[in-house]
A and B are shown apart, each in its own frame.
Chain A
Amino acid sequence: MDNIKRHIKITRLIYKQRISSLSLRELDKVNKWLSEDINNKELYDRIFNSDIDVVACKYESIDERSQWNSFNKKVKKHTVLKHFKQYLSIAASIIILFCISVLVYQNRHQATEYTMYSEVQKKSIQLTLSDGSILDLEKLGNKTIVNDDNHSITNVGKKIVYQGKLSKKDDLASSKMNKLVIPKGFYYNVVLSDGTKVWLNSQTKFSYPVSFTGKTREVTLDGEGYFEVFKDKNRPFIVKTSSLNVKVLGTVFNVNTYKDNGQVSTALLSGSVEISSNKEKRLLKPGEVAKYSSKEIKIEKTDILPYIAWKEGMFCFRNESLKNILKCLERSYDVEFVYTKDFEDEYFTGDISRNKPIEAVLSVIDMLTVVNFEKRGNKVFIN
């Protein structure tokens, strides 16, 4: 990518040279490029002497405005069509029902009539401090937990923020580890003392130091986390899981250790990341997903949206088996699915908001598949 960027910059300089003039520094850059390859001179001449008529002819025939309009229309269709691409053969009435149910549940401000959803209150999000004391973050509410010379820990909204203040006694802070335990049905966010933001999904345990000192920034994850790592070239950020280490410099990525498919996966949005198991090391590029399953690391270039949608409050399934979808729902809503009889697995593509009560999600899946759901307490029976 850097090679492309460099050549684009050189092109812009050539253009500047064409209509104006270059500074000595700029001229230097162009000359350096020219000297690198004989072909560059020929390319330079060709570009510099571009025939404006030929250019205009090609460009004039393109109507960007109308292309944008059709793009816009496509975007709207795209989001809806994706969902029932697989179900074109289903009777029209069911598709209409589906649309209606989607429209009904669109209203985010609809008051929850589903009181059953909130019955499980026993579990909560636990923060274990370095002195061993355990705090219940749900009960705590907005509060500053610690505020001393070295750092402060504040709980606000659905996240906990760490701020390291300047201190000469650095080594003391680094040994202090905190641990967040997020049970099924919950999710939480953390802002680490270096500014790194972490979104944590249900059924996740996350350990991290109160302040980062030392040559690396290390955290431990068991579950799922979406990381926006604060750039610090001098201190690589390392996410440790039980089988894999993910090393990053300043980047955005998602790590999933649930092993639903028997795999630990890491999806990269931007920046670069090095994945290491005890046998190998692989480099990951944006738009790629690395999957590790006790034998080897496999990397594929794929749509990474399904891997990170949870962080935006969505379930995003792409040709996902129903059984895996149900595992995902079990985690997010803390329910248990009971199979009364085995059924042939079906594959589902769709996006569903996570902020809806489980009954809403289940009724959509119910309509689109052969299975039926019956919820009793926190168990759901499947027919």
Chain B
Amino acid sequence: MRRKKSEHIKFSDGVSVSFESVFISNFSKLVVFASKYLENPSVCEDVVQETFMYLWDSEMLFSTELSLVAFMYKTVRNKSINIIKHKKIKDKYSEENLERLESNKYFIDNIMSEEFSDLLYKAINNLTDQCREVVIMHLKGLKNNEIAENLEIALSTVKSHKSVAYRQLRMQLKDEYELF
């Protein structure tokens, strides 16, 4: 009784991606997203694993990668809310708190936070060590001379690392998404 399973997800705009790549690139942000609803990190991981299992089983057709991502957030959120409601008997959550967690505002807020964090994290991770350090400090608001002092490198080096880094970040952006 073996099922013939396609290990690719096809979109109706013609693009096709491997299930594995969808898993690897979305897993972390979905877990962090789930942690906004559930306290226990391994429960969060379970919820996301289940979501991917559901995705695997359902063989749904999505129009674009964006639809797929939206679907995953929705599924993780619904599963998380179900768990919370189930546990409500233990009265961990007050009525107001539950209302807030179930609200659409909370849902959207967290999607936006996690999408942003994920983009930032992946982009920075892809930079070379020195460039990364410079960018991180710059994002924290440090001025060039402060960065130079911190890393014990010349001011000119800071500037060149910065320009290389941001150029790389912008390049990544072009490859990744069609924004509108």
Known contacts A64-B28, A102-B1, A287-B58: A4-B73 contact under CB 8 Å: yes
- CB <8 Å contact, A52 and B120: yes
Q: Which residues of B contact A93 (CB under 8 A)?
A: none
Q: Is chain B's binding surface mostly helix, strand, loop or mixed?
A: helix
Closest chain B CB from A175 CB (angstroms): 32
How many angstroms from the CA of A1 to the CA of B74 in the assembled complex?
A: 8
Known contacts A50-B113, A64-B28: A106-B121 contact under CB 8 Å: no
Known contacts A19-B173, A79-B2: A62-B117 contact under CB 8 Å: no
Is B101 part of the binding interface, using a Cβ–Cβ cutoff of 8 Å? no
- CB <8 Å contact, A20 and B180: no
B23's partner among A16, A25, A64, A287 (CB-CB below 8 A) is A64
Q: Which residues of A contact B119 (CB under 8 A)?
A: 11-12, 15
Q: Which residues of B contact A14 (CB under 8 A)?
A: 112, 116
- CB <8 Å contact, A8 and B115: yes
Q: Which residues of A contact B63 (CB under 8 A)?
A: 270
- CB <8 Å contact, B120 and A15: yes
Size bracket of the B interface: 35 or more
Known contacts A8-B70, A55-B120: A16-B4 contact under CB 8 Å: no
Is A158 part of the binding interface, using a Cβ–Cβ cutoff of 8 Å? no
How many angstroms from the CA of A20 to the CA of B60 in the assembled complex?
A: 36
Is A71 part of the binding interface, using a Cβ–Cβ cutoff of 8 Å? yes
- CB <8 Å contact, A9 and B24: no
Is B15 part of the binding interface, using a Cβ–Cβ cutoff of 8 Å? no
Cross-chain pairs A/B with CB under 8 angstroms, 7 sampled: A8-B112, A11-B112, A25-B180, A47-B112, A64-B24, A75-B53, A79-B3
Starting from the known contacts A20-B170, A46-B113, 20 additional A-B residue pairs (CB-CB under 8 Å) come to: A8-B115, A9-B66, A11-B112, A16-B179, A20-B166, A47-B116, A50-B113, A52-B124, A58-B35, A59-B28, A59-B117, A59-B121, A62-B31, A68-B20, A270-B61, A287-B58, A287-B60, A303-B58, A305-B57, A305-B59
> Closest 3 CB pairs between A and B?
A4-B70, A11-B115, A270-B61
